Amino acid sequence: MAADAVPGEMSEAATALLAALDGEQRSLASRPFADEAARRWIEYRPRPRPGACLADLDRTARKAAHRLLATALSPPAYAQAMAIVALEEVLDRQEGWARGRHSNDYWVAVFGEPGRDEPWGWRFEGHHLSVTMTVADGVVSPAPIFLGANPHRVGYAGGTVLRPLAAEEDLARALLDAMGRADRRAAIVSDEAPPDIRTATRPAVGGPLEPRGVPASRLGPGARAALYRLVALYLDRLPPGLAALEYARIESGEQWFAWEGPTRPGGRHYYRVQGEDVLIEYDNTTDDGNHAHTVLRRPHGDFGDDVLASHRASVPHSA
């Protein structure tokens, strides 16, 4: 999908969703764009959240919500998202059905009016899945995008049955393996992993996360290529047109890689990649290294801050 086609696809899908909702559910799902507390929200734990719950929607409306989500994700990322949703039932069984987790415990909200001249946005969110899109002047700002998995891996007889975030772990390990000894020492900034991704559910990233680790410019060709493959994995969560814009936006800047925790497989570990306006975080630090979180954020563009600044600058204001 070309980048200039994505806003129209999103507008059409969001309009179809709202039309499929009854009065009560539409009032929950349709929010003012100016509702900053609800719009600038990210929550990947099982908590109450703004919007309409898929469990309360009929089949047509649930399908419309999934079609809206699909406008923001590439086919592989959409498949990851659906596996993450299905894991709610697996996790509920592991926990002895005690918490009543279920695969329709996901929520959708639309902010503003799709297809109008004013900015608007939407979010699809639940446990281990949070996708936020903001649209202004025909431009989509795609962040934050959070995908997690609990369990991270389901196995059988020494093999893997399901591992939705396999590449996110394996490519980072391949990057470490490709580094020389000195670069690897610079990249591993702590022997212990943090309890979660560093930015957690903060609505704004703030300044760079320290220590930054090792810069791409210091790496040899093999390790640098491995780092770019890792970054591409996260950018390619987006439809091709949007991903191409993100590649172009960050390609001229420096990117840094940092790892925290042991490097042996199965240990609790964390990594991040950050640049001027990109932050990727991954952790697998609970349940003995079998509970993963990943997020793609934009320090200057989360929740549409970039496109909203351009929109305000282009709109004439009276004195």
As a whole number, mean pLDDT of residues 110-133 equals 96
pLDDT tens digits, 158-212: 999 999 999 999 999 999 999 999 999 999 999 999 999 999 999 999 999 999 9
Give 52's DSSP letter. Answer: E
CB 242 within 8 A of CB 74: no
As a whole number, mean pLDDT of residues 130-151 equals 97
CB 92 within 8 A of CB 100: yes
> At residue 290, what is the residue type?
N
pTM (2 d.p.): 0.95
Q: How confident is the model at residue 1 (pLDDT cuts 50, 70, 90)?
A: low
Q: Give the model's pLDDT for residue 3.
A: 73
Q: What is the C-alpha to C-alpha distance for residues 180 and 163, in angstroms, rounded to an integer?
A: 29
Q: Which of 272, 269, 268, 247 is nearest to 257 (CA)?
A: 272
Neighbours of 148 (CB within 10 A): 24
Q: Give the model's pLDDT for residue 299.
A: 95
pLDDT score of 62 more than 80: yes
Q: What are the DSSP E strand ranges found in the chain?
A: 30-31, 52-53, 106-111, 120-126, 129-136, 139-141, 145-149, 154-156, 159-162, 188-190, 214-215, 256-260, 269-275, 278-284, 292-297
Q: How many CA atoms lie within 13 A of 183 on its CB side?
A: 20
Q: How confident is the model at residue 314 (pLDDT cuts 50, 70, 90)?
A: confident
310: left (phi over 0), alpha (psi -120 to 50) or beta: alpha
Q: Give the model's pLDDT for residue 191.
A: 95
Q: How confident is the model at residue 263 (pLDDT cuts 50, 70, 90)?
A: very high
Q: How confident is the model at residue 318 (pLDDT cuts 50, 70, 90)?
A: very low
pLDDT tens digits, 86-111: 999 999 999 999 999 999 999 999 99
Q: Give the model's pLDDT for residue 317.
A: 53
CB 209 within 8 A of CB 198: yes
CB 256 within 8 A of CB 215: yes
Q: Give the model's pLDDT for residue 315.
A: 74
Strand partners, 260: 190, 270
Q: What is the C-alpha to C-alpha distance for residues 66 and 268, in angstroms, rounded to an integer?
A: 33
Instruction: Compute φ and ψ for 16, nearest 5 degrees.
Output: -65, -40
Round the average pLDDT of the chain to a whole number and report it: 95
Q: Give the model's pLDDT for residue 287.
A: 78
* pLDDT-above-70 percentage for the chain: 98
> At residue 138, what is the residue type?
G
Q: Which residues contact 223 (CB under 8 A, 6 or more apart)?
A: 175, 178, 179, 180, 183
Tell me how far CA of residue 113 lies from CA of 26, 31, 37, 70, 297, in angstroms.
Answer: 13, 9, 18, 19, 24
Q: Give the model's pLDDT for residue 169.
A: 97
Q: Give the model's pLDDT for residue 138.
A: 94
Instruction: Please report the DSSP string for 91-117 in residue order.
Output: HHHHTTT-S---TT-EEEEEES-TTSS
96: left (phi over 0), alpha (psi -120 to 50) or beta: left
pLDDT score of 319 more than 50: no
